[in-house]
Chains A and B, each alone.
Chain A
Amino acid sequence: MTAIETGIDWEQIWAEDYEQYRQTMRPDSDDQVYWSQRAEDFSSSRRSNDYEYGRQVLASLWNRVLTPESVVMDVGAGPGTFVIPFARKVKRIDAVEPASGMVDKIKENAGREGISNYGIINSTWQDVDIASISGRYDLVISSLVLWVFKDVWPQLRRMEQASRGYCCVVSGVGGKGDHGETLWRQINPENGNVWHFAQQYPLIYNLLYSKGRLPNVSIVNYASERSVEDKVRHIKLCFERRIHVTHDMEKMIREYFAAKSKNDMIEESGQAAVIWWRSPDAENETR
């Protein structure tokens, strides 16, 4: 009995979870504006420990999926989470990133590292013309981005169409007990868990399997750090997508992180599921 035979429609479940998640946000909350505002603190976090998150994902794919000759596309590249560590090892990586603040960070971080074997497509993934990049990449990867798509399966199919080899989705599995969730419950206990949908694992795995894919999974551990100021900014922006953050709330957030800091830095650790599979479009090409 496959997932299809259980009668479970994973696309439908995804769409319902998506709606539920978006309903926790203000109607005027704009993803691109939000991520541009987040560029500074997110870049700082991703850079920490020499891009440890990106390096761990790279290591889990190296020699299985990636070689020095690989050409990679990163969908929703953020501040260069993968662009910087991957570009050090592979032939080329192209970043699709709609938020201008993040694009600036990719350029800044690449410049700092002396990296030039990358490209940037400043666009949403939905607006990228797939016909023009069909079968061009050995790996099409996306990390913590799928939650912006209500129609997640067509977007995953587009990733497959762009690939002549593999696709990969990286999903956080850290789950409960993170700072944001703890603070949210303190500030706004009656308003549910806003982090629920951001943890897409294992939903995304079930969806892929139900579509006939047989994905592999590697669980990776990583550590990161950012300043108290960056962390306060992160949480404040995240909460402001949902509620008006008062002066008292901001004070509570600041005090919370000040108490948790060491040398004015907040250390965090996380786990992520690296899910990868062979694109069926690639299989068709080699037949």
Chain B
Amino acid sequence: MSSVIEWERIWQSRTGKTSQISSPEYWCKRAEDYNDYIRTSNFDHGYKIKELLMSEGLLAAEMDVLDIAAGPGSITIPFAEVTRKVTVVEPAVEMCKHLEINAEEHGLKNIEVVNKRWQDVDDSQVQGIYDLCICSQALWQFPDIVRQIERIDRASRGYCCIAIGAGKDSESDQMSRMLGIDTWSSDLFLCFFNILCQQNILANVRMIDAVMKRSVKSAISMWELNLSKYQEPTAEQRDLIRGHVMSNSKEGFYEKVSKLAVVWWPSRGGA
């Protein structure tokens, strides 16, 4: 019975609309507040994933890594510190600019930035050339999930890794409902997990605590821009956002801890 559930279709229906309206232009607008989040959080989940994968023997000095939808470098920066090279595929040019500044500040010269959507990368150019392909908190951008997993898998000669939010995020869900934002893309982990199983991919899973710490200004921008994907925020909604952020902030910072599932498997053509 459980094997006949159409998880791929469920994924598609839950991510289709959200992914469509979250364009590179949207992420360019979000670059500043997102960069503030990553920097203020001291690249928290990136360093935690790095430690985890190193303890599993999946990251080492001679390795080449592909970071898909890298944003301002939440994964790229920690990983570039311990590997030979990290290639970044990031569609939002403003995110790339922040990433380059972050790399420079960390003294890293082993990062190559490709300003493209992952979907537009030529498979024949990247087949089996990375020891690790990683995509963190961006999988929901791909409604054609099975095809993208296959492409990620083919690009790796070693391992693939996906980081994706897990469990209920009551605070965000409540806020999204109050603003009338589609929450169907939250907690996609179980759907993803079952898709992997149906693809006969046996994956390892670790649940880690990810810290999101950002300035009040960054948090307000996040909610307002998120809402603007659906509608122009009204004055009442702006007040609601400000009130929510302020009541969840301390000393000028909005901070929350949520669960992130780190999922990895040996690529079928590689390890």
A residues contacting B by CB (< 8 A) are 1-3, 6, 8, 10, 13, 16-17, 173, 201-203, 205-206, 209, 212, 214-219, 271, 273
Contact = CB atoms under 8 A, between A and B. Distances in A.
Contacts of B194: 202, 206
Contact of A273 (B1, B184, B202, B259): B202
Contacts of B101: none
B2 A203 contact: yes
Contacts of B2: 10, 13, 17, 202-203, 206
A179 to B, nearest CB: 20
Contacts of A13: 1-2
30 contacts: A1-B14, A1-B184, A1-B186, A1-B187, A1-B188, A3-B190, A8-B5, A13-B1, A16-B1, A17-B1, A17-B2, A173-B202, A201-B197, A202-B193, A202-B194, A205-B193, A206-B190, A212-B167, A212-B168, A214-B167, A214-B207, A214-B259, A215-B207, A216-B206, A216-B207, A217-B203, A217-B204, A219-B202, A219-B204, A271-B202
Given A1-B183, A202-B2, A203-B2, 7 more contacts: A1-B184, A2-B167, A8-B5, A202-B194, A205-B193, A212-B168, A217-B203
B205 interface: yes
B209 to A, nearest CB: 10
Contacts of B186: 1
Interface string B174-202: 00000000011011101101100100001
Contacts of B205: 215-217
B166 interface: yes
- Interface SS, B side: mixed
Interface string B199-230: 00011111100000000000000000000000
CB-based closest 9 A-B pairs:
A217-B205, A214-B207, A202-B197, A219-B202, A203-B2, A13-B1, A216-B206, A209-B190, A13-B2
B257 interface: no
Contacts of B126: none
Nearest to B198: A202
B121 interface: no
B10 interface: yes
- Interface SS, A side: mixed
A141 B5 CA distance: 29
Contacts of A2: 167-168, 187, 190
B267 to A, nearest CB: 14
A155 to B, nearest CB: 19
Contacts of B204: 217-219
Nearest to B187: A2
Contacts of A10: 2
B137 to A, nearest CB: 16
Contacts of B207: 214-216
Contacts of A16: 1
Contacts of B261: 214
A273 B197 CA distance: 12
Nearest to B189: A209
Contacts of A173: 202
A40 B166 CA distance: 43
A243 B10 CA distance: 40
A273 B203 CA distance: 9
Given A2-B187, A202-B197, A214 B1 contact: no
